[in-house]
Amino acid sequence: MKKLLYIVSILVIVLGTSSCEQDLVKYKSDGSVEASFPSTLVNFALVSEDNGQITIEMWRGNSKSAASIPVTITGATDVFTPQKQQFDFEAGSNKAYLTFTYPDINNFAGETYKITVAITNPEDISISGRSSMVISAQRKLTFQSLGTGSFTSEFFEESWPITVMKAAEADYYRLPGCYFTNYNIEFSINGSTVSFAKQPTGYNHSTYGMVSWDPRFMSESTVQGKDITFVVAFTVSAGSFGKFYEELVLP
């Protein structure tokens, strides 16, 4: 009986070793670069110390020889200029870098810029690798409270007091939790012109989901002294509720 148990144990070990060997050879490099981005999203807070540059990286699995991996770049390339259109790997190196330059930081308010960088050739991408990366870049701002103003919403048919915050570095404003907690409304003022991006209000419609401010009527907005009228389309993924006038009186 002991001899039989010994033989069975030997068979289990042999079969287990064979199974592990099969698992080990399931993947074999075909000689491609096996490139991948380290993540699908990277955020940059722009500061003057960056000297007008941001840099992203790409990884690869096969580092035997030098290689250049072309990429397709879309988005805010009119503001952020890539120094080249490819990542250049040195022989033996698993990382390569791509730098973007941008204008004087004092030209920025608080707007967020998006750039997508994607590996152009599918054969360059590693198995389960990340084929693209979205760059999100925004000037780092320091907000200070101006005091309490008042906000009147045509959409919600209500008025309420609102804390108004302004960036020390630019004419960029924030209304913390304007409609709902943890959902800020942000905008900039340049003379008599007000600008804002599409942004969620925090109101989740029971049928249509998140309701957002949409800037399609932004050019109709006005600034008269401390009175700011935002002309806003309240939208959801299925469409729009229409045009509404939201009024802020600054402190």
What local confidence, expressed as pLDDT, does residue 97 receive? 98
Kindly report the pTM of this predicted structure. 0.74
Nearest partner of 141 among 163, 189, 115, 108, judged by Cα: 108
The Cα–Cα gap between 120 and 93 comes to: 21
So what's the pLDDT on residue 31?
A: 66
Name the token pair of 141: 């701002």
Cα–Cα dist 168/73, whole Å: 33
Of how many residues is the chain composed? 251
pLDDT at 1: 42
Beta strands in 86-171 (DSSP E): 86-89, 95-101, 112-119, 132-139, 143-153, 158-167
Three-state DSSP state, 62: coil
What percent helix, strand, coil does the chain show, rounded to 5? 15, 55, 30
User: How many angstroms separate the CA atoms of 116 and 73, rounded?
Assistant: 6
158 has which bridge partners? Answer: 153
Note the pLDDT of residue 128: 87
One digit per residue, pLDDT tens: the chain, 251 residues?
A: 434 344 344 444 434 444 444 444 444 455 689 999 999 999 999 999 999 999 999 999 999 999 999 999 999 999 999 999 999 999 999 999 999 999 999 999 889 999 999 999 999 999 989 999 999 999 999 999 999 999 999 999 999 999 999 999 999 999 999 999 999 999 999 989 999 999 999 999 999 999 999 999 999 999 999 999 999 999 999 999 999 999 999 99
CA separation for the pair 184, 165 (Å, rounded)? 11
Report residue 120 as tokens: 């152009």
**What confidence score (pLDDT) does residue 7 get?**
38
